[in-house]
Structure 1
Amino acid sequence: MADISSAILIPQTPTRIRLRPRHARLALLEARPVVQVVFLMRYVIGVAASSAHHLLAHPVRLVAGVISWWLAVVAAYLINGVMDVKEDRANGSDRPIARGDLPERVAALLTGGAAVGALALAAFVPGLLVWVAAFLLLGWVYSAPPLPAKRWSTACAVVVFGLGWTSFAGGAATTGGRLSTAGLVFATVMSAWMALVGSVVKDLSDVDGDATGGRRTVAVRYGAHLARALGATGALLVGVGAVLSWLLWAPYMLPAMAPVAIGAVCVVVQIVRTTRIAGGDRRMRRGAYRVFMRTQYAANIAMLFVLAFHGAA
């Protein structure tokens, strides 16, 4: 009994945060490599779709910009992992923080380091600092207190649109220019794809965990049926918008817009298929999100080829 009372009365020494090489690897895994790559693709498209000429006039600036943006993405998704640990564990996630391999305090420290690194590098690239700061702010607003946007579907969609848009605009700013007409069209379509499709269908597999974490998304408040309907509607709207954008403003962008239109149909098919199958495991319910991600990759890769052959226009 004396030992117990002594343990209660004696202040406990705070546990030191010990960084190990494996923590860096785990942090990169937590920040979702697949997402890191697609954000860097958006940034590079912004560079290539800039109104400025002589894109390779400042190669050091371009490299610094790419690394800065990558660090900003890592920071945004690491803080998301730290803040989502309760929901991730409830959903059975196997990410490093959720499974206990990456301590939350270590992840938080690495988040701060990545954010500082992103801002420091951006300071050496004229015009980029404001976009990096905006991206980091949006990443914080999405995940962190006092009012994380992830709790509400509408707020989530707005912030996600901003995360996409700033990635394209930040790339253009690195060259000292702005997005060309083609860049503006593509950035708007793909940011809308993220906001109206991705931000909705990602919730279909995480309803239980989101409810545990106190979120008030459409899927939690009104059920998966309405969330599926909104996801399908959003996909069709963006798909039609992609076709109209190609016809009205950038005829040569068909190879980049076609994957969005095809992906929209595939998302709807996947949603209908999931609806018809009662229950289903988490992987099955995540099918629409996988189609969403594949569509992003296909469209971004196609846009890089379009820009390589036609220029920013």
Structure 2
Amino acid sequence: MSSAVHPSRAALASCASRVGLAFLEGRPVVLGVFALRFIVGTLLVGGADWSSPRLSLAAASWLLAVWAVYLINGISDLEGDRLNGSSRPIAVGRLDVRSASAIAAILLALSLLCASLLPRAFLGAVVAFVCFGLAYSVGPWAAKKAAIAALLVAAAGVFLTYLSAALVAAGTVPASALVFATVASCWIAVAGHTKDFGDVAGDAAEGRRTLPVMLGVERARILVAAGTGIVSATAMALGAVVHQLRALLVLGVAGPVVIALTLLVEGTDRRRAKRPYRSFMAGQYALNVAALLNALES
């Protein structure tokens, strides 16, 4: 009896370990901000009823799709991540590609199964999001290989997250929610380029046309700082004028921080070069937490 039980326990533990590593590969910090975006999207329409199983099912479907998309991205980034010295599970060999691929397929199947129980518009949004993710990561013309295309696809995925959450919550999207989603997506499309400053060597070796690779690091820093300033100033103006958009004031504060780190952080050390990106991510979290608090107060 014990000889039959112990191998099954070992197999279960091994499976759980792979799922845990796949979760790490899916980037918990990104999954967390997508969860916040979805919650905020439901609250932007006012009066979202989170006691309804429909919203919980929709959130589960969306986050499973996000996890799968980022896991697929980790698989596709294997060589570049190794060249850049990444510590992600696939890059360091703790999670094999075959297991990661199987888990990604299961996640996608579960996501689509959940979405199929919801209105067709939401199912279509999930399919569209997955297509954006595949377009970003997979194939010879993957968007990740070109700086502008990569961030446009990422921004579209963020916009779709807010929009889909609002639709499943209320069946409609007010103008203020559309403006919020647009500005939040522009933050991704512009300030998101900070992620490339720590990966120049690997990106160049893989033939990716990121801004630092195409323009050189210094010119790329200036361009990203200028674009971030424009988005930040726009967010500040809208937040100051429109009560429903007060949360956008956060980007007015976060913008100068991202700009300062983008322009001042120098050197080739990857950890230091990632500081602008970490400030960009902190800005995303702060924006969505502020929007959440603003919605709860209203």
TM above 0.5: yes
TM-score normalised per structure 1: 0.87
Q: Does 1:271 align with 2:259?
A: no
SS of 2:190's equivalent in the other structure is helix
Q: Does 1:21 align with 2:16?
A: yes
Provide closer, same or farther for how the CA distance between residues 203 and 57 of structure 1 changes in structure 2, counting only shifts above 3 A: closer
The one-letter code of the counterpart of 2:143 is A
**Distance in 1 (alpha carbons) for counterparts of 2:106 and 2:170:** 27
Match of 1:120 among 113, 124, 137: 113
- 1:275-286 equivalent positions in 2, closer than 5 A: 277=266, 279-286=267-274
Match of 2:212 among 207, 210, 219: 219
Q: Residue 283 of structure 2 corresponds to which residue in structure 1?
A: 295
- 1:1-12 equivalent positions in 2, closer than 5 A: none
Q: Does 1:304 align with 2:292?
A: yes
Q: Does 1:232 align with 2:220?
A: no
Q: Does 1:30 align with 2:30?
A: no
Q: Does 1:131 align with 2:125?
A: yes
Identical-pair percentage: 36
The one-letter code of the counterpart of 1:163 is G
**Distance in 1 (alpha carbons) for counterparts of 2:33 and 2:20:** 19
Q: Residue 12 of structure 1 corresponds to which residue in structure 2?
A: none
Q: Residue 4 of structure 2 corresponds to which residue in structure 1?
A: none
**Distance in 1 (alpha carbons) for counterparts of 2:154 and 2:50:** 32
The one-letter code of the counterpart of 2:43 is A
RMSD over aligned Cα, in angstroms? 1.7
Is the contact made by 1:153 and 1:218 (CA closer than 8 Å) also made in structure 2?
yes
**Distance in 2 (alpha carbons) for counterparts of 1:125 and 1:159:** 25
SS of 1:179's equivalent in the other structure is coil
**Distance in 1 (alpha carbons) for counterparts of 2:252 and 2:95:** 39
1:137, distance to aligned residue in structure 2 (A)? 0.6
Per-residue CA distance 1:90-120 (angstroms, 9 max, x = gap): 0000000000010011111111111111111
Between 1:106-115 and 1:81-90, the stretch displaced more is 106-115
Q: Residue 5 of structure 2 corresponds to which residue in structure 1?
A: none
Match of 2:202 among 197, 209, 215: 209
1:21, distance to aligned residue in structure 2 (A)? 1.6
Is the contact made by 1:242 and 1:257 (CA closer than 8 Å) also made in structure 2?
yes
**Distance in 2 (alpha carbons) for counterparts of 1:178 and 1:302:** 22
Is the contact made by 1:86 and 1:212 (CA closer than 8 Å) also made in structure 2?
no
**Distance in 1 (alpha carbons) for counterparts of 2:231 and 2:72:** 29
Per-residue CA distance 1:69-89 (angstroms, 9 max, x = gap): 110110110000000000000
Q: Unpaired runs of 5+ in structure 2?
A: 1-13
1:181, distance to aligned residue in structure 2 (A)? 2.6
Is the contact made by 1:85 and 1:97 (CA closer than 8 Å) also made in structure 2?
yes
1:50, distance to aligned residue in structure 2 (A)? 2.4
Which structure features the higher share of helix residues? 2
SS of 2:93's equivalent in the other structure is coil
Q: Does 1:262 align with 2:253?
A: yes
The one-letter code of the counterpart of 2:255 is A
Per-residue CA distance 1:275-308 (angstroms, 9 max, x = gap): xx4x241111111001101111111000001111
**Distance in 1 (alpha carbons) for counterparts of 2:191 and 2:139:** 25
The one-letter code of the counterpart of 1:173 is L
**Distance in 2 (alpha carbons) for counterparts of 1:213 and 1:262:** 35
1:180, distance to aligned residue in structure 2 (A)? 2.1
**Distance in 1 (alpha carbons) for counterparts of 2:66 and 2:238:** 28
Is the contact made by 1:50 and 1:177 (CA closer than 8 Å) also made in structure 2?
no
Match of 2:100 among 107, 113, 116: 107
SS of 1:102's equivalent in the other structure is coil
The one-letter code of the counterpart of 2:232 is G
**Distance in 1 (alpha carbons) for counterparts of 2:213 and 2:236:** 33
Q: Residue 89 of structure 2 corresponds to which residue in structure 1?
A: 96
Between 1:83-92 and 1:120-129, the stretch displaced more is 120-129
Per-residue CA distance 1:26-78 (angstroms, 9 max, x = gap): 00000000100101111111111126x5x328711111011101101101100
**Distance in 1 (alpha carbons) for counterparts of 2:199 and 2:230:** 24
Is the contact made by 2:176 and 2:244 (CA closer than 8 Å) also made in structure 1?
no
1:231, distance to aligned residue in structure 2 (A)? 1.3
Q: Residue 146 of structure 2 corresponds to which residue in structure 1?
A: 152
Provide closer, same or farther for how the CA distance between residues 57 and 142 of structure 1 changes in structure 2, counting only shifts above 3 A: closer
